């Protein structure tokens, strides 16, 4: 098993890519600490992992709160003895709002989740990884962090920023045995935009490129990439951004 005896935190684990990653990691031997704002939504995930012979616990928390992030790291160490892997998956869309129509509340909310949230996880987790001789971070960004208009202004800025942050961590802590890599998915079938009313003008511009998208991805396909990056099979991969988009950005 690729993650045997590893302990992994997965943020935003209650659905979509986070849930798929948690299940895949558990199947490969990792003990999972699943973080989401609503603990009750995590119970189905925990039950599925247990039924498949894996180990997982749920922690209610929000990556926008220092105390919640510190708590999930402490919980992982207390319950499983160490921390080896963190997947920064929690994310928030911005409804395709153009910058001239962007209010500060939406900007701050998106930056808090998508950029400052991973910073909090890096900050809290790195000292624990250093204690065990290293670890691996996998940060879920987006092709929106590589291009200019796959989303609105706030989301685009947040994903460009988090890629830079993850690369900084990669080099800064390489000598400590810590790796930090990024996945930049294209369109993936998840619930992230459910219930959100898109900005009509912004969506019309940003979604124009969907016509050249070969296909949508499945959450499990992103989980496969995350598994490789988190495992020792990727021991020489550090500071990389892996695009997983069926070739969409190759056009």
Residues with catalytic annotation?
155
Six token digits for residue 142: 């987006």
Measured CA to CA in angstroms, residue 251 lies from 35, 157, 184, 248 at distances of: 36, 22, 16, 6
Are the beta carbons of 167 and 242 closer than 8 angstroms?
no
- Reference 221, options 249, 248, 244, 247; nearest CA is 244
Six token digits for residue 15: 């659905």
Six token digits for residue 77: 């160490």
Six token digits for residue 244: 């997983």
Six token digits for residue 79: 């319950």
In this structure, what are the phi and psi dihedrals at residue 217, rounded to the nearest 5 degrees? -100, 165
Measured CA to CA in angstroms, residue 248 lies from 90, 139, 244 at distances of: 23, 20, 9
Q: What angle do CA 150, 155, 158 make, to 5 degrees?
A: 120
């Amino acid at each position: 098993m690729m993650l045997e005896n590893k302990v992994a935190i997965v943020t935003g684990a209650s659905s979509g890519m986070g849930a798929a990653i948690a299940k895949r990691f558990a199947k490969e031997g990792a003990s999972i600490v699943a973080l989401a704002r609503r603990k009750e939504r995590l119970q189905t995930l925990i039950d599925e992992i247990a039924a498949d012979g894996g180990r997982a616990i749920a922690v209610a928390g929000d990556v926008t709160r220092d105390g919640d992030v510190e708590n999930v790291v402490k919980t992982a160490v207390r319950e499983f003895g160490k921390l080896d892997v963190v997947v920064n998956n929690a994310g928030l869309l911005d409804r395709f709002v153009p910058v001239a129509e962007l209010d500060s509340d939406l900007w701050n909310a998106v930056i808090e989740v998508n950029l400052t949230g991973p910073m909090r996880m890096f900050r809290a987790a790195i000292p624990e990884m250093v204690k065990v001789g290293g670890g691996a971070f996998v940060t879920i960004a987006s092709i929106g962090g590589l291009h200019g208009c796959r989303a609105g202004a706030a989301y685009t800025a947040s994903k460009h920023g988090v890629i830079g942050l993850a690369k900084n961590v990669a080099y800064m802590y390489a000598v400590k045995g810590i790796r930090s890599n990024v996945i930049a998915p294209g369109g993936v079938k998840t619930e992230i935009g459910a219930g959100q009313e898109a900005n009509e003008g912004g969506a019309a511009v940003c979604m124009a490129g969907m016509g050249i998208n070969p296909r949508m991805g499945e959450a499990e396909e992103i989980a496969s990439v995350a598994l490789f990056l988190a495992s020792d099979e990727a021991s020489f991969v550090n500071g990389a951004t892996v695009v997983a988009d069926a070739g969409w950005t190759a056009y």
